Structure 1
Amino acid sequence: MNPLLFNLNSDPVLASQLRAHLDAEEGVINQRYFPDQETYLRIDSNCQERPCIVYCNLYQPNDKIMPLLFLVETLRELGASKVALVTPYLSYMRQDKRFLPGECVNARPFARLLSNYLDFLVTIDPHLHRIHSLDEVYSIPTHIVKAAPLIADWVGTHIKQPLFLGPDSESEQWVSEVAQLIDAPFLVMEKNRKGDRDVEINVPSLKTWKDHTPILVDDIISSGRTMLTTLMQLRQSGLNRGYCIGVHGIFADNAYSELQEEAEVISTSTIPHPSNQIDVSAALAVPLAQWAKD
């Protein structure tokens, strides 16, 4: 039986693409708010004995979590055979360590919360650093879709003589994989973070790469300070105007416009934004299709 796909407060374009790839039926939700801002939710689709997929992009998650839990719980009560969550951006992964006394390591309680409700989770390149695998914090099966092949395909189609650059050691896992997929050179720089918006980047000598197009790749572009600082130093080194590619383009405040002054800014479609040029829908659909059949 084809799955039902419910779009909970997320990008309708990506939801439609996912339904098409999965040959899924659109799940109908009736949702509104009571005067006190509590959530009213009703499912108007027959989900009895059917696999149900909830598309809820957990970028800016706080207003989505309670409706998500209500939806999943109601699907189970109404007889869904199993429930999966697809969230291109998985929130609450960056606070993965107690840096200061008393801090909440929110990656862990958030993972326990979702694991209590779901059977399966699909996401794209979550921020794994000190937590090395989702299995360390999630107790349900998960699947990580890698953005590297999608980025490599885009670069291979649009850019000649690319030189991939990672702004810091955390970015090496993405930069190296993308570069290897299209047999291109890559370099990883060193970053010294002094604050949320204050960073220093140590750029190596780039004299031998004058004929290449620099491409900065990172998983998350938030304030953009790391990317912007790196791009300014690349320009001073005499390199061509390059590209800034992010898996998840958050672009807080004026980050997007500031980056555009220094480079062409590209992102995948995990978070809706004018910079989206790399479609993730087909890649997300693959593990969901297999899960729905099993």
Structure 2
Amino acid sequence: MAAITEPKLISGNANLSLAKAIARRMSMHRGMSVNLVDARVERFNDQEIFVEVFENVRGEDMYVIQPTSNPANDNLMELLIMVDALRRSSASRITAVIPYFGYARQDRRAKARTPISAKLVANLIAEAGVDRVLTLDLHAAQIQGFFDLPVDNLYASPVFALDIEHNFKGQMDDLMVVSPDVGGVARARELAKRIHAPLSIVDKRREKAGEIAEMTVIGNVAGKKCIIVDDICDTAGTLCKAAEVLMENGATEVHSYITHGVLSGPAVERITKSVMKSLVITDSIEPTDKVKAAPNIRIVPTAPMFAQAILNIWNGTSVSSLFEVDTLVPIYEGMYQRS
């Protein structure tokens, strides 16, 4: 059933530029101005977070745009407090739009006496009063099951497929998709199927946490332009090492497509100095000035996809249609042209 009220967007401080871009895209689709709800999200002197919404949201369909990226705890608390403010202001439905879901890497007990933090965060979000979650490339698909409410998990791979077709036109037969570890094979295979490319794996073995002892390439990458695919790039140590190993095994070029550019610590410097020709990330996490200035890092926008997903949720139509490349071509009009 079509919604009666208009969708309303509100944003925290985590990625305000993405929230504004989503509002602009929705304005284009709706043929009317869609603005962020006027609110203030501030901190008291002791760093407690305070939220005040300046507009009436009673009975409204609200979309809270807030990735829980660095600083993860602050951004998570902002999300929870904004949701509480909207719930207490009688919003009819609250959808948490979380482009990057923090704590997702703690999705199971890898050893004794450790938490499953992703489940704890899911509980906090649900308890705060969220009715639905919209996110992008969860680190582990089973996190959707940590929620007892609907979760729409969008995928970056169709957007990456469009970008690869656009930037490697005439070279598609030379491409090889590479998973940087065994755990990411399903994600890499998904992109490989979309662009009709073969698949290779870099098998890494660690002697202790934070140190990679050995890397082995499974598959023949000689003479290939390799595209490493992963969901998160944090310190970029594994990624840069994998690129070196691929070049040593005969690859002609190495490019990387990573959904979430966490890029903490020495990451940008490592990537700039690495043998990788390019690293493509999305704007799910607001890029720093250092990331924007890096010559071999390129950012693909997610606002067109999120704007359409929000409109589909509001209209009660399919979100899974956005998993297909053909659906995204008109959404990303002007950026990518398919032959």
| TM-score, with length taken from structure 1 | 0.92
* Counterpart among 261, 265, 274 of residue 249 in structure 1: 261
| 1:188 counterpart = 2:187 | no
| 1:40 counterpart = 2:50 | yes
Mapped to 2, the partners of 1:218 and 1:25 lie a distance apart of 33
Preserved contact between residue 156 and residue 182 of structure 1 (Cα < 8 Å): yes
Greater per-residue helix proportion: 2
Match in the other structure for 1:9: 13
Match in the other structure for 1:206: 220
**Alpha-carbon distance, 1:230 to partner:** 1.2
| 1:103 counterpart = 2:117 | no
Match in the other structure for 2:103: 92
Match in the other structure for 1:281: 303
Which blocks of at least 5 consecutive residues in structure 1 are unaligned?
none
Provide closer, same or farther for how the CA distance between residues 276 and 114 of structure 1 changes in structure 2, counting only shifts above 3 A.
Answer: farther
Preserved contact between residue 250 and residue 271 of structure 1 (Cα < 8 Å): yes
Equivalent residue letter for 1:285 = A
Mapped to 2, the partners of 1:99 and 1:2 lie a distance apart of 44
Matches within 5 A, 1:55-94: 55-60=65-70, 61-94=72-105
**Alpha-carbon distance, 1:99 to partner:** 2.7
Which moves more between the two structures, 118-127 or 183-192?
Answer: 183-192
Mapped to 1, the partners of 2:43 and 2:143 lie a distance apart of 33
| Other structure's SS at 1:258 match | helix
Which moves more between the two structures, 78-87 or 65-74?
Answer: 65-74
Preserved contact between residue 9 and residue 35 of structure 2 (Cα < 8 Å): yes
Match in the other structure for 1:225: 237
* Counterpart among 236, 240, 246 of residue 234 in structure 1: 246
Preserved contact between residue 68 and residue 101 of structure 2 (Cα < 8 Å): yes
Match in the other structure for 1:291: 313
Superposed CA offset, 1:71-130 (max 9, x none): 1112122221111111110011111222333211111111111112201111111110xx
Which blocks of at least 5 consecutive residues in structure 2 are unaligned?
28-33, 317-339
Equivalent residue letter for 1:90 = F
Aligned residues: 289
Preserved contact between residue 134 and residue 142 of structure 1 (Cα < 8 Å): no
Equivalent residue letter for 2:37 = G
Equivalent residue letter for 1:112 = N
Mapped to 1, the partners of 2:158 and 2:60 lie a distance apart of 32
Mapped to 1, the partners of 2:208 and 2:256 lie a distance apart of 22
| TM-score, with length taken from structure 2 | 0.80
| 1:20 counterpart = 2:24 | yes
Preserved contact between residue 237 and residue 270 of structure 2 (Cα < 8 Å): no
Equivalent residue letter for 2:74 = D
Q: Aligned Cα RMSD in Å?
A: 1.8
* Counterpart among 133, 143, 148 of residue 139 in structure 1: 148
Superposed CA offset, 1:113-171 (max 9, x none): 1112201111111110xxx4234211111100011101111111112232111111222
**Alpha-carbon distance, 1:229 to partner:** 1.7
**Alpha-carbon distance, 1:205 to partner:** 5.4
Mapped to 2, the partners of 1:205 and 1:89 lie a distance apart of 31
Equivalent residue letter for 1:237 = N
* Counterpart among 111, 116, 124 of residue 136 in structure 2: 124
Which moves more between the two structures, 234-243 or 198-207?
Answer: 198-207
* Counterpart among 264, 267, 271 of residue 285 in structure 2: 271
Provide closer, same or farther for how the CA distance between residues 13 and 37 of structure 1 changes in structure 2, counting only shifts above 3 A.
Answer: closer
Report % sequence identity: 22
Preserved contact between residue 197 and residue 223 of structure 1 (Cα < 8 Å): no
Preserved contact between residue 256 and residue 280 of structure 2 (Cα < 8 Å): yes
